[in-house]
Amino acid sequence: MHRGLKLCIWSGPAGFGLFGIGLIAFAHFLPPPPPTLGMDQVAELYRNNALGIRLGAILMMFGASMFGPFFAATSAFMWRMEPRAEKPYTWTQAMNGTVIVACFFLGGLLLAITAYRPDRAPELTYLMNDISWIVFILAAPPAVFQSVAIGLAVLADPNKLLPRWMGYFTLWVAVIFAPVILGVLFKSGPFAWNGLFSFWLGAGIVGVWANILAFQMLGAIKSGRWTQVLEQ
């Protein structure tokens, strides 16, 4: 039962996995290149792994696209959670989720373009590298409002399709996402794009949180709560 929905939910963890493999195993961008690297060092980085970065970027673009079905499944759940007929949280999630897909897709695409001609003038590679990483952290503001929307929908749900603690947990995740965007202000330290608050916490928590969300949705289907809610 609900095979399509389950497929969409699994697309989330799978997409995160694919994105991670592309970023880590192929592009070797874990940890991310520090913003303090000089122009020639950045150009050399892309020259040394041009093919790996392009292959990694392909996986990242596929991974990012797989967030789409996952957010669609999340919206399907939220639609049933929200008591209000207009479904404001569901729409907010869907729209901000789309922007997040766009940010991760474009970040991957920009890395691919940067590594496409690694012998171009180092100034250009330097600029493209900045653009790529800043596009990734650009996902933070929409992610804040996406998680607030999900959190509020869980708390507004009279049927408790997902546990209420998940609502509060998701609101907390929004707090963690917020400082990620501060990477645009700094080139070193904990708030830079390779720092604790702009990268490690956000990237770590988003993985944990999305997987918990996926397993809770799958659990709601398995236990029959989802069918019950549909029949109401």
Partner 1 sequence: MHGSHTEAARPQVSRQRHMPGEEGVWLFIFGDMLFFAVFFVTFNYYRAHDVALYTRSQLQLNQALGLANTLILLTSSWCVVQSLRAFRSERIATSKYLLAGAGVLGMAFIVSKAIEWSDKFRHGITVETNEFFMFYFMFTGIHLIHVIIGLGVLAYLYRTVGARSSHAARLVTLEGGAAFWHLVDMLWVVLFALLYLMR
- Site for partner 1, rule CB under 8 A: 155, 164-165, 167-169, 171-172, 175-176, 178-179, 182, 185-186, 189-191, 196-197, 201
Closest separation in Å from C-beta 192 to partner 1: 10
Closest separation in Å from C-beta 180 to partner 1: 12
Closest separation in Å from C-beta 111 to partner 1: 28
- Closer to partner 1 by CB, 6 or 187: give it: 187
Burial 172-209 (b: 16+ CB within 10 A, else e): ebbebbbbbbbbbeeeeeebbbbbebbbebbeebbeeb
* Helix, strand, coil fractions of the chain, as percent rounded to 5: 80, 0, 20
Three-state secondary-structure class, residue 28:
coil
Closest separation in Å from C-beta 171 to partner 1: 6
Three-state secondary-structure class, residue 32:
coil
- Closer to partner 1 by CB, 26 or 197: give it: 197
- Closer to partner 1 by CB, 67 or 191: give it: 191
